[in-house]
Amino acid sequence: MIVHCASYHDGRRIEAPDDLHGALAAARAAGPGGFVWIGLFEPTAEELDQVGREFALHPLAVEDAVSAHQRPKVEAYQGSLFVTLKTLGYHPAAHAVTGGEVMVFLGEDFVMTVRHGADTPLSGLRAQLEKDPEVLRYGPSAVLHSVCDTVVDDHVEVVTALQADLDELEADIFAPGRVHRDTAGRIYGYKRQVMAVRRATGPLLEPMLRLARGGEPFVRAETTPYLRDVTDHLARVNDQVEGMDRLLSDILGANLAQVSVQQNNDMRKISAWAALAAVPTMIAGIYGMNFDDMPELHQPWGYPAALALMALVCVVLHRVFKRHDWL
């Protein structure tokens, strides 16, 4: 469905009907520099086909915009430029990264944004641009830059929030004396969130580099410095995401080593207690404990001596194990 439709000329909004045909006619009647900006949210195939016929959009681009689930890309068609972006949202309470998509159709006198998913942060973008006519005067290219900038800024916020949660996870896992269950599961959960971010930010770098280099149809040269700035922000995001992924792998490896050390300590303690129990068993096995006045038969001091020997050996072993931190 069409969420918003407006006409602009020389960076300022002009009075025009709010329907597609009227807005487009007003923009073209305003002369050079006039364009129409249409915003759609999860349109049906019929709705997008209708708009596509109005602007002579390529059927493949229209099909991609309807089905969504596209990789970030830039495709040049006759009469239009098609740009796909992945959007992100982060819910700290659930530790979950969610996503959406924004498609941008760019032409000589029109720009159309198609949004899919709840995490498509473009609601205030139109009002923000209308307050800055010096930027909006660059026409559809200015809208494209602002959409890319907004999406990448949201990527930065998501990665920053995820990094903060990851720092808390690291401190919690390696806190002295803390024992956690299912730590590996928690780490893998964060790795899945980082992977979801990488699927959005990683493939976007190549399309942004294409736009920043210039030469793409319908992208004015005046906007390429701004697009290069967005590309630089995106590159930093990708570096941060790569760092988080490596950190999670290191945390997982360190945690597994920590578990192994703990298991070794437990085995040492079990072995020490087993040794303490084995000594009386051994002595009792040798002498049988079924004769009168042992050891060596008929010696009145033999029975208490055997018990004293057992106690003495157990005390000595306990001290030795304690000194070596086995107990």
Domain ranges of the chain: 2-258, 262-323
pLDDT of residue 22: 83
DSSP assignment, residue 291? Answer: S
On whether the 2-258 domain is CATH 3.30.460.20, my answer is yes
At 30, is the pLDDT very low, low, confident or very high (cuts 50, 70, 90)?
A: confident
What are the two backbone dihedrals, phi and then psi, of residue 306, each rounded to the nearest 5 degrees?
-65, -45
Q: Tell me: pLDDT of 128 over 70.
A: yes
Express as a percent the part of the chain with pLDDT over 70: 89
What token pair was written down for 43?
A: 């349109």
pLDDT of residue 142: 92
Which value, in Å, is the radius of gyration of the alpha carbons in the chain? 35
Q: For the whole model, what pTM was predicted?
A: 0.77
- In the chain, which residue ranges form alpha helices assigned H by DSSP? 20-29, 45-55, 59-67, 125-130, 133-136, 140-173, 183-201, 205-213, 224-287, 302-323
Give yes or no on whether 2-258 and 262-323 have one common fold. Answer: no
Q: If DSSP codes are grouped into helix, strand and coil, which group holds residue 204?
A: coil
At 291, is the pLDDT very low, low, confident or very high (cuts 50, 70, 90)?
A: low
Going 230 to 234 to 237 to 243, the CA torsion angle's sign is negative
- The class that CATH gives domain 262-323 is mainly alpha
Residues ≥6 apart with Cβ < 8 Å to 45: 66
pLDDT of residue 231: 95
Q: Which residue has the higher pLDDT, 323 or 247?
A: 247
Express as a percent the part of the chain with pLDDT over 90: 28
